[in-house]
Amino acid sequence: MGEAGEIQIEIEAAKALVYWKSFFAEEVVSQARRLAAESGQPCLVTLSHYRQAAGIAVRSLPAAILHRGPFNDDKVA
């Protein structure tokens, strides 16, 4: 990938990617906090909690990709 003009990403695709990344990150944080609270130490979120939470968040990502956000594959740029 040498030249800047080699790849073009339409604006809607870039927005979708940003949304999905944000959704995943927020889901991981939320689930990690929940797991920490369930462990009896809500103020201590560990790497283990984040690893577990990432596994949970991965399972909810397909639904977010297919059914959430202001995205339309048929939209003409």
Looking at residue 9, its pLDDT comes to 81
The residue whose two tokens read 């990709």 is: 65
User: pTM, whole model, 2 decimals?
Assistant: 0.75
pLDDT for 77 equals 44
pLDDT tens, residue by residue, 7-55:
788 898 889 999 999 999 999 999 999 999 999 998 999 999 999 999 9
Distance CA(24)–CA(17), nearest Å, equals 11
**How many CB atoms neighbour CB 60 within 10 A?**
14
The model's pLDDT over 58-74, given as tens digits with 9 standing for 90+, comes to 999 998 888 876 566 65
Distance CA 61, CA 63 (A): 5
